[in-house]
Amino acid sequence: GYIKYVWFEECDEFESYDKITNINQSLLRGGPEYCVFYSFNPPESQRNWCNKQVLIKRPDTLVSHTTYLQAPKEWLGEQFLIEAEHMKKVNPEKYKHDYLGEVTGTGGEVFTNLSIREITSEEIQTFDKLKNGLDFGYAGDPLAYLKMHYDKTRRRLFIFGEVYGTRLSNAKAVKKIKRLNPLNKLVTCDSAEPRTINEFKLLGLKVTGAKKGPDSVENGIKWLQDLEQIIIDPIRCPNASREFNDYEIEKDKEGNLKGEFPDKNNHTIDAARYGCEQDIIQSKGRAGKNRARYEN
């Protein structure tokens, strides 16, 4: 015999997906088919492993989202419904999370304009405003390259290609980037490593260092925040999807949000800033002109 049915109730109480897989590796053995159920109330933060796992598409997985509104009223009782309606009036955001199971966030999410979805080949064929950004890896940090399209009219950024990894030699990194950038379009990269930039040039990649300047990190992130949408393909760009989705302002000991953007787990975000640098600079210039006109 074998165990066919496995049910992880309140599975968000497990500290990570690794704990789940360890159990499954022991249970799912020896049989021709299995049914594994994972049930939970979605945590507030999109960074929670359960919420991230739901976004991963698998052909053998069905995701079902249900709320109290789909249950017969007699199952719930009058008082439950009264409490739900009261919460809906006095605290709509908490109502959305507690009663509708929505991932409302902790308030520290940097990018609330994300759309994590498949970008079709038909869409990609229409992309004509390509952007290429590269953040070099340092020691244990990964190298991150992004291939993007910026729809200036609708203010939408599509991220549909990535190279991401640690311990990549320069030659191997260039080879991988060239596969995604066969026409060798200009790649804007971190200017802090002129020697590495030169090595990439010698290997045949057309690269240039980002101009950066004062407050370039903050200006770049705010520009990304202000876009109508940042669309990321989670299959083609799993690391960009993860980093943009997980990027949150940290809290201090009292639980208050800090003022600065965190400088960690942001390699693809840096690559996006570099790749879109010219648009960021132009946008800042227009804002300055508008401000000057207003003051005059």
Question: 139 vs 143, 167, 193, 264, CA distance in Å?
Answer: 10, 8, 13, 14
CA 212 centroid distance within chain: 23
* Domain limits, CATH 3.30.420.280, in the chain: 114-295
Domain 114-295 belongs in CATH node 3.65.10.10:
no
Q: At 18, which helix (H) or strand (E)?
A: helix 17-27
The Cα angle at residue 182 between residues 233 and 165, in degrees rounded to 5: 55
What pTM was estimated for this model as a whole? 0.72
Question: Which residues does the annotation mark as catalytic?
Answer: 10
d(Cα 131, Cα 273) in Å, to the nearest integer?
10
> What does the pLDDT profile of the chain (296 residues) look like in tens digits?
899 999 999 999 998 999 999 999 999 999 899 999 999 999 888 778 898 888 888 899 999 999 999 999 999 999 999 999 999 999 998 999 999 999 887 778 899 899 989 999 999 999 999 999 999 987 788 999 999 999 999 999 999 999 999 989 999 999 999 999 999 999 999 998 899 999 999 999 999 999 888 888 999 999 999 999 999 999 999 999 999 988 988 777 776 777 788 888 899 999 999 999 999 998 876 655 555 444 44
